[in-house]
Homo-oligomer: A and B are copies of this chain.
Amino acid sequence: MAEKNEILTLLTSQNPAGLAQLTEEFHPADILEVVQDQKDYSLLQALPDSFIADILDEAEDEDKYEILKSFNRERTHSILNQMSVDEVTDLIEALEEDNREAVIAALGFRNQNDVKKLLAYESDTAGGIMTTRFIAIYASNTVMGALNYLKTDVDAETGYYMYVVDKYDFTLKGVVSLRDLVMAPFDTPIGDLLNPHVISVHVEDDQEKVAQVFSRYGYQAIPVVDGDNRLVGIITVDDVIDVLNEEFTEDLHHLAGIGKEEKVDGSVADSVKSRLPWLAVNLVTALAASFVINLFNGTIEKIVALSAVMTIISGMGGNAGTQTLTLVIRALSLEEIDRENARPILLKELGAGLINGAAIGVLVAGIAMFYDANPLFGLIAGLAMVLNMLCAAAAGYGVPILLEKLGIDPALASGVFVTTVTDCMGFFIFLGLATAAMPLLV
């Protein structure tokens, strides 16, 4: 950004006018980046607490506390109480026990209540990403009343939607968009404008489901209700983008067999902790495959060319299995597979496996005959390739669907099972056929 220098100049200038311009015209995320590039949080000292709070809202959970510590006790308290409660909650969750108490103690009564409520929810649920600061009005209000209320409420995270709740039990009655408000005569009662069919999510819904709701309806914000349909918070779409990035990373990491929390710039110890268990699991797969090979030692001793060809058949099966697997896993998380299309999809995968197997099988047969000119050797290699591709399609389709049914994250565990199948079956079919045809091969 060319604006970086402008921000830095204004920050260092320390003159009130400049700092005022900074807080009015620049995004906290940009100012935070400049300060972190300079590795000097003291640059923030001259900014007003309310704006420091906005900057903290933009910071990584791990950095929030570092930044806070650069201020004296009094300012720290004032800043904490001006941050959005969901960010304070994230901050607290990133701290060790004793620091947590200190932060919570520093909060005012209302904030303390809100934060304690939010801390009660799993961080990957609607409750974990929602904010408790939203605009709720009663149906009896008029447009003018609502607009005035909006002007006075400074805390609300978004003013784009106003949610209409019951005066007595706070259950969600409907929604009115700010757009509707400004386009209606000022004396219109909210009751005439509200839409009772408001889309909401449950406070315990998984954040991935929340993201799907946003993607389906394209709303800017969605209300969160508890079991009694009481309005307990809202989620804004900008938070959902972070959720999607987080979920994507988690899926990718699981598919590759690394912990979802592992950071590319983390420590060696963290990497080992995150990956070694998974490698150990894969070792079991490799061990199983090696057992299968060991069964046929006698055959390999006589026809050593088998050892060069067998890795092609197991490897290509693994590739094909991963193709099907990935397609199915993505489809499952996008909820694209249902009772109706499950069977056609399986048949399609088997069909593709057969055709790809035949095509690759012909090439493999040719390669095999390069190692052992006997046409039967080529035929066996080609046939084994086709059969292993069919196993790959069946496993690549069946494993994730089965795991999903068992309530296990398919992204996490499917790969290892599918490769076990393609490795073991690949070796078994190929070496088995070769053993059966032995007399004709040597």
* A positions within 8 Å CB-CB of B: 3, 24-27, 29, 147, 150-151, 159-160, 178-179, 181-183, 195-197, 199, 211, 214-220, 236-242, 244-245, 248-249, 251-253, 255-258, 262, 264-268, 271-272, 275-276, 278-280, 282-283, 285-287, 289-291, 293-294, 297, 300-301, 304-312, 314-316, 319-320, 322-323, 325-331, 334, 336-337, 341, 344-345, 348-349, 351-352, 355-356, 359-360, 363-364, 367, 371, 419, 423
Contact = CB atoms under 8 A, between A and B. Distances in A.
Contacts of A197: 3, 25-27
Given A265-B345, A341-B265, A199 B27 contact: yes
Contacts of A308: 290-291, 293-294, 297
Contacts of A329: 252
A340 to B, nearest CB: 10
A262 B195 contact: no
A422 to B, nearest CB: 11
B352 A264 contact: no
Contact of A352 (B159, B272, B351): B272
Contact of A336 (B3, B265, B275, B356): B265
Given A258-B326, A268-B352, A312-B287, A279 B360 contact: yes
Identical chains bound together, number: 2
Given A217-B29, A283-B360, A327-B256, A355 B272 contact: yes
A71 to B, nearest CB: 24
Contacts of A306: 307
Contact of A275 (B276, B293, B320): B320
